[in-house]
Amino acid sequence: MNIYVGNLAWKTTDQDLEELFRNFGEVDKAFVIRDRNTKRSKGFGFIEMADENAAKAAIDALNNTIYMERTLVVNEAKPKEESE
């Protein structure tokens, strides 16, 4: 399952995200989205977890919690809409 994590602190790294979600199960991939030119975080990222039950547990446990002084928004990632 692909999980969206929003409202991240600017200093959050890919490793920080992986460690946060690893408490709930195996993390296949964790990455913070960064600006292509400045490499600065855009304040959100994605987690990929193979175990759907672990992913849902992580979403339920972490949504609206404080991490690095920010209230996280955690939910199932929605596929990007195809442009017409």
Full-model pTM? 0.91
The β-bridge partners of 74 are: 5
Measured CA to CA, the distance from residue 56 to residue 62 in angstroms comes to 10
**Would you kindly state where each structural domain of the chain is located, as residue ranges?**
2-76
Q: For residue range 48-68, list pLDDT tens digits in order.
A: 999 999 999 999 999 999 999
Burial class (CB in 10 A: 0-12, 13-18, 19+), 70: middle
Pick the CATH number of 2-76 from 3.20.20.120, 2.60.40.1120, 3.30.70.330, 3.40.309.10: 3.30.70.330
Return the SS3 of 7.
coil
Q: For residue range 23-55, list pLDDT tens digits in order.
A: 999 999 999 999 999 999 999 999 999 999 999
Measured CA to CA, the distance from residue 44 to residue 7 in angstroms comes to 6
